[in-house]
Amino acid sequence: MMKTVQRGALIVIEGVDRSGKSTQCKKLVESLISQNIKAQLMNFPDRSNLTGKLINEYLINSDCKLNDRAIHLLFSANRWENVEKMNTLLYGGTTLVVDRYSYSGIAFSAAKGGMDMNWLKQAENGLPKPDLVFLLTLNHEEAAKRVGFGEERYENEAMQKKVSNIFSQLAKEEDNWRVIEASDSIESLQAILLGHTLDVIARVAKQELKSLHF
């Protein structure tokens, strides 16, 4: 009898700078692969594609002036550029572990002020909806003890605190979020994330992927 391919899960990790997103994403992919589960890491912004190069310039060069709505749409377009790739991988049975997604897009733009929340969300509607979003929370004092901010735009305390509040708000709007206090050790956090992820992979394997609909 033919074995139908079960789809992979779309797992997103969000959180403020230095909350441990990149560390946990990398470890989660390694843990899944070590259990013979097909898994791949993705991160947004994806600085390798066309929109990603513009975004990278905006982030690293403080002299780069760009309208707030224009850069918001570029971050969103950067995700849209990857939709076919994401769908192909997911429906090919690969679980995607994604370092930042639409919620970073919404939170960072909203933290700047002056843009309507519904307008910010609109650009994300229709993208693949994560099966699970981890929000790593860490207070600013704890984050400050970790290896320091770089020189990129948004890497300052005021911005990070606003972003943190908006993430907490977004987490309450849907039931697919798991809020994890990120001050524990890398290993104990990883065990928690892996447990939730394995549950979700099993639960969604035969379900159709949903689309974001804010």
How many whole angstroms separate alpha carbon 51 and alpha carbon 41?
Answer: 19
Told to check if 45 binds ligand ADP by CB under 6 A, we report no
Stretch that binds ligand ADP, among 21-29, 61-69, 71-79, 90-98 (CB under 6 A): 21-29
Q: How far lies 206's CA from each of 4, 8, 85, 203, in Å? A: 10, 9, 20, 8
CB 110 within 8 A of CB 117: yes
Yes or no: say if 54 and 74 are a contact pair by the CB < 8 Å rule.
Answer: yes
* Partner from ligand ADP, ligand FDM, Mg ion, none binding residue 210, C-beta < 5-8 Å depending on class: none
When asked if residue 190 is in the footprint of ligand ADP (CB under 6 A), the reply is no
Identity of the residue, 153 or 196, whose beta carbon is nearer to ligand FDM in the bound complex: 153
List the structure tokens of 2. 């033919």
Assigned token pair, 25: 């994403």
Q: How many residues bind ligand ADP (CB under 6 A)?
A: 13
Q: Report DSSP state, residue 136.
A: E
CA-CA distance, 147 to 144, in Å (whole number)? Answer: 8
Could you give the CA distance from residue 156 to residue 166 in angstroms, rounded to a whole number? 16
Select the span of 58-66, 107-115, 161-169, 185-193 touching ligand ADP (CB under 6 A): 185-193
Structural contact between residues 13 and 21, judged by C-beta atoms closer than 8 angstroms:
yes
Query: Binding of ligand ADP at residue 23 (CB under 6 A)?
Result: yes
Binding ligand FDM (rule: CB under 6 A), the pick from 19, 31, 104, 197 is 104
Interaction between residue 22 and Mg ion (CB under 5 A): yes
Radius of gyration for the chain, computed over Cα atoms and rounded to the nearest angstrom: 17
Mark the segment that binds ligand FDM (CB under 6 A) among 27-35, 87-95, 103-111, 134-142. 103-111
| 208 CA to centre of own chain | 20
Binding mask 99-138 for ligand ADP (x = CB under 6 A): ----------------------------------------
Using CB under 6 A, which residues numbered 168 to 187 contact ligand FDM?
none
| 43 bridge partner residues | 99
Q: With CB cut-offs between 5 and 8 Å by kind, which of ligand ADP, ligand FDM, Mg ion, none does residue 131 bind?
A: none
- Among 19, 76, 94, 160, which residue interacts with ligand ADP (rule: CB under 6 A)? 19
* Chain contacts with ligand ADP (rule: CB under 6 A): 15, 17-23, 146-147, 185-186, 189
